[in-house]
A and B are shown apart, each in its own frame.
Chain A
Amino acid sequence: MSVKKKFKGLSDKAVGWLFIGPTVLLLLAINIYPLVYAIKMSFTNFYANKIGREPQFVGLKNYIKVLNKEAIWEKMQVTASFMFWTLLLQAIIGLGLALLLNRKFKGNELLTTLIVLPMMLSPAVVGVFWTYLYNPQVGLFNYVVNFFYDLGSFDMIGSSTLAPWAIVIVDTWMWTPFTMLICLAGLRSVPNYLYEAAEVDRASKWQQFIYITLPSVLPFLLLALLFRGIENFKMFDMVVELTSGGPGSATELASINLKREAFEKWKTGYSSAFAVILFVTIFGFGNVYVKVMNKIKER
């Protein structure tokens, strides 16, 4: 007691605040404040390029405009299909790779590091160099495809039917390692004696997978997909570098469309409303998803 009294330091609570304070301030400044500001702007007819003009309150007009615009629903569809295919492929390939890497073999660690490399690159850089890979004349991608199956000349980025697949392939190439890593963590958490018990209980390899591996790894996989889902809903940099939303608007994701409305057409009020709608959508989906995920975890 006497020793304690000599030092009049900060209380535990104060130290706690001291540690998280800077982060909280930073979050307030660059996340929360812009959000609140955007919500406020979404109810006005503000144009950021018209300096000096006082924005006027227009009520829900911007929201009605966004939701009634057919083009918006097209962008949403492009985004949804992009998300569906990337998440599906990343789940299957990521889990598959994790299962392979979970076995013990020589060079296991090195291979894991190599597979993880794409994830460490900048998305914009990935976008740029895949434009070279996809080049119909000199690109490696077309060469490899034609090596196995002669499709003749085709342009992944130039064709409006192939371009959506082009961005799905690049995103899968880049982010499958992420699902793989998290699945691998899940697989490593399964105690070996469960497999031994199953083996003695004469379970087939398939039964072992269904009864032991899958239920153990599923919560991990779902968590990885949640992260990937949120990221891909707002996917921007990689696709802009690769296709800039084209050809036409074949790969124009919601976020790309939003950037065009906000910073090319300068419809700040309108695009604020769009941004808020996107935010609410992803927030809602995210919450439902987390609830479902927790249910599965409890099972």
Chain B
Amino acid sequence: MAKVELKKLFKTYNKKIKALEDINLTIEDGQFFVLLGPSGAGKTTTLRCIAGLEKIDSGDVLFDDENITHDQPASRDVSFVFQQYSLYPHYTVYENLAFPLRSPMRKLPEEEIKNKVEKIAEMLKISNKLKNKATELSGGEMQRVAIGRALVREPNIYLMDEPLSSLDAKLRETLRVELKNIQLNLNATILYVTHDQAEATTLADKIGVLKEGKIVQIGTPEEIYENPNSIYVSQRLGSPKINILPGSLFKLNNTAKIGLRPENIELGNGPYEGKVISTENLGSETVVAINFQDNEILASIQGSYKSSINEKINFDINTNKVLKFDKGDQRIYER
């Protein structure tokens, strides 16, 4: 595994569409780095530039301080899990998993290939499917094979492009846990792209938030959640999502807007009075939507919470946890 650095990366498509602008980031050896952002933010492009599948306009890609910007994909030795199941359709699961090991740049003996394939199949619980054709698998199995094909070798870095996005919720959760365990066991360097905040927070050692081709903040999941530097970043994490409200609402001076996480609102008593719009019981918590001076505020309460619609409700906010933003939606830091 290697340390991967991107320095001042620029990339445009068709000389017009700006895909990446001044991307700088460092993925340490053994780090699970997650790129988070909505579609079109440049996540996949970043991965493809590291893999060498896209030519970059300017900037450098470094593996362990070695500049590989102009190397071919094959000589970079990275492995890539694509968003679509990119299995070789005419071959069995075994052949698919063995394919990267059969590269002329590797030349492993057949015995070793067999061992490695069986080991990885066991890890991903697809041992009983090795003889199946790639097209005879369910979606979840296909993606396991695709992940297996990436994990079967020890490249400089594993690049994963929303590998779980096409799976159903339950499978996604299971594979997410497995993936984290595998990463810890192998001490693997992974750059993982997602727009799913649950994946980002559970998997990442570090998160990089992308917006329109630029990295707007890099930090641990906790930092991104608790200390976002803009409204955009604050909205990336958290469910139910953060309340963005006018600063005047709570008489805060010099503040255009504030961000208030739903869990930082206490219901029952307090100086503010609103009306209940709806309640949503999620089992472990209840999300209450409140109309406060024509603003909708979401509050989340531990356990269940009984109230009826249009009922008057008093609440208080945890002022220490209020995030303040200026007119440009940037964070105002307090001294």
Contacts and interface: CB of A to CB of B under 8 A. Distances in A.
B90 A196 contact: no
Interface stretch (B76-84, B262-270, B315-323): B76-84
Interface string A280-292: 0000000000000
Contact of B74 (A199, A211, A215, A216): A199
B103 A207 contact: yes
Contacts of B232: none
Interface residues of B, number: 24
Contact of B103 (A193, A201, A299): A201
B102 A207 contact: yes
Interface in A183-241: 191, 193-194, 196-204, 207, 211-212, 215-216
Contact of A193 (B77, B78, B86): B86
Contacts of A212: 88
A162 to B, nearest CB: 42
Nearest to B77: A202
B73 A211 contact: no
B90 A216 contact: yes
Contacts of A207: 102-104
Given A194-B88, A215-B90, A216-B90, A203 B99 contact: yes
A201 B90 contact: no
B51 A200 contact: yes
Given A200-B73, A200-B79, A203-B99, A193 B104 contact: no
A137 B145 CA distance: 66
Given A193-B84, A196-B53, A196-B82, A202 B90 contact: no
B91 interface: yes
B105 A196 contact: no
A194 B86 contact: yes
Candidate in B79, B86, B103, B104 with the most chain A CB atoms within 10 angstroms: B86
Given A196-B86, A201-B79, A211 B99 contact: yes
A202 B105 contact: yes
Contact of B91 (A191, A197, A204, A211): A211
A31 B187 CA distance: 72
A132 B89 CA distance: 49
A87 B89 CA distance: 27
Contacts of B106: 202
Nearest to B106: A202
A199 B73 CA distance: 6
Contacts of B86: 191, 193-194, 196-197
B211 interface: no
A43 B170 CA distance: 72
A204 B73 contact: no
A299 B79 CA distance: 27
Interface in B79-117: 79-80, 82, 84, 86, 88-91, 99-100, 102-106
B79 A193 contact: no
6 contacts: A194-B89, A196-B73, A199-B73, A203-B99, A203-B102, A207-B102
Sort A-B residue pairs by CB-CB distance and give the 9 closest, nearest first: A215-B90, A202-B103, A201-B100, A197-B86, A202-B74, A200-B80, A199-B73, A193-B86, A202-B105
Given A204-B104, A207-B102, 4 more contacts: A193-B84, A196-B53, A202-B100, A211-B99
